[in-house]
Amino acid sequence: MLFEAGVSIQREPDMTPAQIHEQRGGAMRNVVELPNGCRLTDREIEILQWVAIGKTNVDIALIHKRSMNTVKNQLHLIFHKLDVVSRAQAVMEAMRLGVMKVNDSSMSIRAMDASA
Segment 43-99, tens digit of pLDDT: 898 999 999 999 999 999 999 899 999 999 999 999 999 999 999 999 999 998 888
Whether this model's pTM surpasses 0.75? no
How far apart CA 11 and CA 49 sit, in angstroms, is: 32
How far apart CA 77 and CA 44 sit, in angstroms, is: 9
Please say whether the structural domain 31-111 has been given the CATH code 1.10.10.10: yes
Residue intervals of the chain classified under CATH 1.10.10.10 are 31-111
Question: For residue 1, what are the CA distances in angstroms to 6, 16, 22?
Answer: 12, 15, 15
What does the angle CA 7 – CA 81 – CA 46 come to, to the nearest 5 degrees? 70
Segment 17-31, tens digit of pLDDT: 455 555 555 544 567
Q: Which of helix, strand or coil describes residue 101?
A: strand
